[in-house]
Structure 1
């Protein structure tokens, strides 16, 4: 089981020599406790102590990178079983599958869709992550051609799915330098695939039916020189995947089975219910999800779900404070105060853009809190508004001194007027009512 930082500290030399890269032994112990440091970094520990601490301070789930360059996929390095305990850090990579038995046009179409899919949501660009090329032609040369058609890993991360070492040999000759995921090592072929993955420095998926079998095979592959592994539990059904994935994550978080401390792989198209499997993988610990080509609606839903699950629940999504011109405003346009909670901003933006009313959206930094919460918690204050007006030069943009504030901020209206010298107008509480309010009330 995991050890606390102070328990680890008792086994350290307490010399504060700094040779581990940390200022004190206690700081080193704290990093070890959360899996952020390697026990081998301490030069003064005897082998027995290193063995003892190594078993309880290894990373809970190893960080594994698939691909190379800006769009590479980093998965793993998670620390909790449930998102609300802390947060999840590395969203699963969603890779769309193509077959080497398809025509060139079919392969290119899917690859272009993956490249061009971008869902803009609450200030973030959500994208698909890569392409999985499946070996179905029984021709290694055709497999290599399909890999090349998919970009060879230079523009998008790749997963290579086959059971023939000769096919992998041909594909890796073209794409190995871009670290594609090799899927999958089994009890029958693990020696050949481990040798290939080690030669090209690629991550390797390990496939076996059940956690115990996966652990045995993962140890063999790791000892053979491939440290970056992804576990495929070969589920028989979607419910089987959920149960097995939970068992594996529980073992990793509890440090009860070191060989299961790797990201998980899910073939979302294996059960005939791709959308449901994709959602289950996002929710239940998959690191790499391979899916059949998706409709635009399914892509949007999956990317939105992934964003929601991998957003820190203790840190609201925020937009940058400042002054945002909407619909080409001039010096007579209204100035609308709001907060930097992303959902508030994008809700207002949608209504205001649709109304075609020129205005300035003036966003104060309330650390991502909504208007009502910011007012109640003292984050939205007259001092903040006054300072922000000066900081962003709002007075230089308009030839009036009227400020429209949200209805929920009405208790601050008098204080804001005193602090800023601006005349405050109290707007509606509901964003949907704001365009109508401006059409009737704005007379600057």
Structure 2
């Protein structure tokens, strides 16, 4: 039985505090070392955020802290100019402790494509971008696959990809000679090597050691063999190993989920050092199964990716680039890796849209990010010149904030005063969200402003302003 490894949930701030310099210098951004230790244990700060601990005189304490706080699942980074970080998990469920390091999504390029097609596909991967509640969601890596088995052609494809993007690379071949050609081209970029198997492990291990690159240990459908392969690679001096237990679509998906779960349980609950490594999921594998239509394959790849991301995949390789296939993965990843203790919010305060004059409308909303960016989008779509006051509601939506009294008449009155809006406009009308209509009377009394009730859905703001602004009393 492997020795059980201490999880971060079992570490006390006192354990961290004892190893800190205890100078209470405040260089970390908090008042004292105990507060910093608490933030570290809560996953809100890292040890390197304490400048004094990095001094030569604290080398031993720094090493002991890193060992104390090391996650059950090892952190591995590949790439150079732009990097991908995988692993670093402490717990099985996100409500226990915030998940760290969202799984990068790599899209494949194959060496049987002509150069123009490779460049076009890499450009599409690198430029894929979607704005979502104030964040930009992107793809993270390129997986270059050897399909031809030709070492020279693989090396040329790798070179072409390198010349087209600085995204981190995954080199995919089971043939050591082909892999060698790819590493001769991209070895200095620290790509991830895919993959060492029970048949090629010795040659792949030599390449991983020679180029200093992380390597994937692959044993599809055989966890016992995977453990053995990891032990062998570690004996060769390789520490940066990624696990590929195999991804099987359709009827094999349940077995895939079982394997991923068993590996992560072994790491987080039993402290198993052989399984305390990042897991690679390959939803791209559905394209090599039974003959299905392309849309069916894309659908299968999409739901397989979502399930594996939920069930502990630390890295995914996909083929589809269609928005309806990839975008759900990026949005789901964003949600899954958001701190469940902290609602996604924006800073409160005054926002200005267009070129508002002294008679411009003034609107109110909450600082829940999804609410704010939806309202922002609807204001911009309607091409309105107006002011928007974002009220601090603890990151709650309007309806939830009203119900919980996080948005009330006093808070709205305070936000109006602190915004400085009175110096910018000549009227005293403010538009409340329709979901906060019940606060109208209280807000008029607390603020001295006249209240207009807006639509329940911000998509109706444009129509409201066109039809009812300025208020009739101002005519």
Q: TM-score, normalised by structure 1?
A: 0.84
State whether residues 336 and 362 of structure 1, in contact with CA within 8 Å, keep that contact through their aligned partners in structure 2. Answer: yes
Question: Secondary structure of the equivalent of 1:336?
Answer: strand
Q: Which has the higher mean CA deviation after the structures are superposed, 255-264 or 93-102?
A: 255-264
Question: Secondary structure of the equivalent of 2:401?
Answer: helix
Q: What stretches of structure 1 of length at least 5 have no aligned partner?
A: 45-49
State whether residues 269 and 277 of structure 1, in contact with CA within 8 Å, keep that contact through their aligned partners in structure 2. Answer: no
Does residue 205 of the first structure (1) align with residue 220 of the second (2)?
A: no
- Measured in 1, the distance between the counterparts of 2:319 and 2:309 equals 15
- Measured in 2, the distance between the counterparts of 1:163 and 1:214 equals 16
State the superposition RMSD in angstroms: 3.5
User: Which residue of 80, 91, 107 corresponds with 1:68?
Assistant: 80
Does residue 147 of the first structure (1) align with residue 158 of the second (2)?
A: yes
- Measured in 2, the distance between the counterparts of 1:395 and 1:212 equals 71
- Measured in 2, the distance between the counterparts of 1:4 and 1:238 equals 30
Which residue of structure 1 aligns with residue 125 of structure 2?
A: 114
Q: Which has the higher mean CA deviation after the structures are superposed, 256-265 or 193-202?
A: 193-202
Question: Secondary structure of the equivalent of 1:301?
Answer: helix
For residues 8-407 of structure 1, what are the structure 2 equivalents within 5 Å? 16=18, 59-69=71-81, 71-151=82-162, 155-209=166-220, 210-236=222-248, 237-272=252-287, 273-407=300-434
State whether residues 153 and 175 of structure 1, in contact with CA within 8 Å, keep that contact through their aligned partners in structure 2. Answer: no
Deviations 1:353-397 (A, max 9, x none): 333343222111222111122233333244543443344432333
State whether residues 366 and 372 of structure 2, in contact with CA within 8 Å, keep that contact through their aligned partners in structure 1. Answer: yes
Q: Which has the higher mean CA deviation after the structures are superposed, 379-388 or 210-219?
A: 379-388
State whether residues 122 and 165 of structure 2, in contact with CA within 8 Å, keep that contact through their aligned partners in structure 1. Answer: no
Change beyond 3 A, Cα 1:352–1:43:
closer
Which residue of structure 2 aligns with residue 47 of structure 1?
A: none
State whether residues 365 and 389 of structure 2, in contact with CA within 8 Å, keep that contact through their aligned partners in structure 1. Answer: yes
Question: Secondary structure of the equivalent of 1:404?
Answer: strand
- Measured in 1, the distance between the counterparts of 2:133 and 2:283 equals 27
What's the CA shift for 1:154? Answer: 6.0
- Report the number of matched residues: 427
Change beyond 3 A, Cα 1:241–1:311:
same
State whether residues 112 and 147 of structure 2, in contact with CA within 8 Å, keep that contact through their aligned partners in structure 1. Answer: yes
Q: TM-score, normalised by structure 2?
A: 0.79
- Measured in 1, the distance between the counterparts of 2:17 and 2:421 equals 56
- Measured in 1, the distance between the counterparts of 2:189 and 2:212 equals 9
Change beyond 3 A, Cα 1:306–1:43:
closer
